[in-house]
């Protein structure tokens, strides 16, 4: 049995270019502008798994390919 791959919400925002620093990601999340699976998320350490969706503004991103094959 293998552990499911995860990525933290703030890391995902940086990976997608929505924040250039951890501080920017934190502010974006704490301002209530980020939704995970259609619910506002205020925890920057929220662990995302494959299949989750992250919405910022009018853009929605699918969390996938977490096994390092970016």
Residue 3's pLDDT band (boundaries 50, 70, 90)?
low
Using CA atoms, how far apart are residues 52 and 13, in angstroms rounded to an integer?
A: 13
Q: Are 25 and 10 in contact (CB under 8 A)?
A: yes
Q: What is the CATH number of the domain that holds 56?
A: 3.10.290.10
- Over the stretch 34-70, which tens digit does the pLDDT of each residue have? 999 999 999 999 999 999 999 999 999 999 977 654 4
Residue 25, domain member (yes or no): yes
Q: Are 61 and 53 in contact (CB under 8 A)?
A: yes
What total number of domains does the chain contain? 1
Q: Does the predicted TM-score (pTM) go above 0.85?
A: yes
Residue 32, domain member (yes or no): yes
Residue 45, domain member (yes or no): yes
Instruction: Choose among 43, 60, 42, 40: nearest CA to 51.
Output: 60
Using CA atoms, how far apart are residues 10 and 30, in angstroms rounded to an integer?
A: 11
Residue 67, domain member (yes or no): no
Residue 50, domain member (yes or no): yes
For residue 66, the model assigns a pLDDT of: 77
At 23, list the tokens: 């501080």
């Amino acid at each position: 049995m293998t552990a499911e791959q995860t990525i933290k919400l703030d890391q995902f925002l940086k990976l997608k270019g929505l924040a250039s620093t951890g501080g920017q990601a934190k502010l974006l999340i704490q301002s209530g502008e980020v939704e995970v699976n259609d619910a506002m998320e205020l925890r920057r350490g929220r662990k995302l798994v494959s299949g989750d969706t992250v919405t910022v503004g009018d853009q929605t991103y699918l969390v996938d390919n977490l096994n390092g094959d970016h």
